[in-house]
Amino acid sequence: MKRMSRFLCSLVTVMILITNIAFADDFVKNEEFFNAVKKYVMNNYAGEITEDELYDAAIKGMFENLDKHSIYMDKETNESFSESVNGKMYGIGALINVRDGKLNIVEPMEDSPAQKSGLIAGDVIVAIGDERLGEIKDIKEVINKIKGDKGTNVNLTISRSGKEFKVDIKRDEIKIKSVKYRVIEGDIGYIKISQFTTEVEDEVEVAVNELKKQGINKAVLDLRGNPGGSLSAVVEVSKHFVPKGKVVIVRDAKDKVINHYSKGEVAFDKLTVLVDENSASASELLSGAIQDTKSGTLIGKTTYGKGTVQTVLPLKNGESIKLTIAKYYLPSDRSIDGTGVTPDIDCDRYDIDIDKFIELNIDNKLSKGDAGLDVLAVQQRLGAMGYNIDDPKGVYQDSTFKAVEKFQKDTGLYAYGSADLTTLNKINEEFAKYMTLDKMDKQLKKSIEILKK
């Protein structure tokens, strides 16, 4: 009886508040309204819910009405975010983003489980285990399902060129190195910045100094797949590539303007910059400033188009708020938000048409006499990697047998000419690595051509 009395009392309170909403023009939805609704739910909801969960849900709902980069992160999501910013994570080793509501592989990391499983930039994850992914609204929630303890497996369904295939990936500890560098073509420096983490400034400094010691005065700066990161880090890094002067203009919610400047310690006489549709945020700032100051040539595809600044506010219980607080503009005062940076030279990434490749099914052993799309998929990959095959397309005859046998010898497998599970997995892994080689990188080759002129 007492419970029924409490129920009716709560119900009347909520109904009165709702009536006020409907009939009072000056009604304000305030703390009283929120608390009454919360109390009613807590007292009468037939399922299981805690007060903390209601608060989390309410705050998340608040952020749904803001831009897509402003989010409330619960404790688990915040820990995941902190791991990525600080350069350490557990999972498959791939940079992932959401584009047009779909979960995309931006870039598999070198020697990562993702790369070893044959994933390449541009693949779309359409299912995790048995769960099909609809339109992605909360990328952190999805990424947490892909991540997991070292040694555990995650099964992904991948879409590539409109065709789907499954891949089972063993998770591992992923140590992110933000910067890699080397000398190519004998006299050209190559610096790849994967993201602007807290360590990137020191890593770029090392890369530049080591290349300069070797007498390198022209370089390729690779920002493809770089999702951004720290604003202060990209401003500091800009000194190596942008002449002294403005590198970014920030305008906050109250239209206050803050200019950030490059120190102008430009390291190279000649520079090309590689960008693609997954170059976002801080990487767009750097590439856009280089373009505005005519200190380098941009090559690739139009960038993502994220021209806003977020700040992270840690909360006491391990949660945090990531809120858009300003917009940024390039030195020429142009905005790239929603439009991106258009490269000076538009160029596709791969030297072969990957869209024409059949997906490789690793579930079926293939032997001489077999025929079909699975055979064609093996022939395409081995042929691209330089193995001679002159059998009819999709038919496993002598030259396909010999190509598989030679591949097995070259990669340390038992060489007997049939493509078993181990061999097919290895073909996938080696093909993914092959696609990252300089000779397959059309954009890099174009960069080298310009630098050598």
pLDDT tens-digit readout, 155-214: 999 988 777 888 899 998 877 678 999 999 999 999 999 989 888 999 999 999 999 999
Q: Which residues of 55-171 form beta strands (DSSP E)?
A: 71-73, 88-91, 94-99, 102-108, 124-128, 131-132, 153-160, 163-170
> Could you name the CATH architecture of 179-346?
Alpha-Beta Complex (3.90)
In the predicted model, what is the mean pLDDT of the chain? 86
SS3 at position 186:
coil
In the residue annotation, 332 being an active-site residue is answered as: no
Q: Kindly name the residue from 192, 218, 306, 426 that is annotated as catalytic.
A: 306
Please give the class, per CATH, of domain 88-175: mainly beta
The single residue of 123, 222, 292, 374 carrying the catalytic annotation is 292
Q: What pLDDT is attached to residue 313?
A: 82
Out of 117, 262, 281, 447, the active site residue is 281
Q: What is the per-residue pLDDT for 250?
A: 94
Please compute, for residue 345, the number of CA atoms within 13 A of its CA located in the half-sphere on the CB side.
18
pLDDT digits (tens, 9 = 90+) for 81-109: 555 544 456 788 887 877 778 888 877 87
Alpha-carbon gap, residue 251 to 258, rounded angstroms: 7
Return averaged pLDDT per consecutive 10 residues of the chain, 453 residues in all: 46 45 54 86 90 85 82 68 56 81 81 85 88 80 83 90 84 83 95 90 96 97 91 95 96 91 96 95 96 97 91 78 89 94 95 82 89 94 94 95 97 95 91 84 95 91
CB-facing half-sphere around the CA of 229: CA atoms within 13 A: 29
* Cα(247)–Cα(279) distance, integer angstroms: 17
Fold entry, domain 354-434: Muramoyl-pentapeptide Carboxypeptidase; domain 1 (1.10.101)
- Distance separating alpha carbons of residues 375 and 370, to the nearest angstrom: 7
Task: Please state whether the predicted TM-score (pTM) of the whole model is above 0.75.
Answer: no
- 180 belongs to the catalytic site: no
To the query of whether residue 287 is one of the catalytic residues in this protein, the response is no
H helices within 244-397, ranges in order?
A: 282-292, 373-384
Provide the 3-class DSSP secondary structure of residue 153. Answer: strand
pLDDT on residue 83: 55
DSSP 64: T
Domain regions of the chain by residue span: 2-49, 88-175, 179-346, 354-434
Per DSSP, the residues of 381-408 read HHHHTT----SPTTB--HHHHHHHHHHH
Distance of CA 299 to the CA centre of its chain: 20
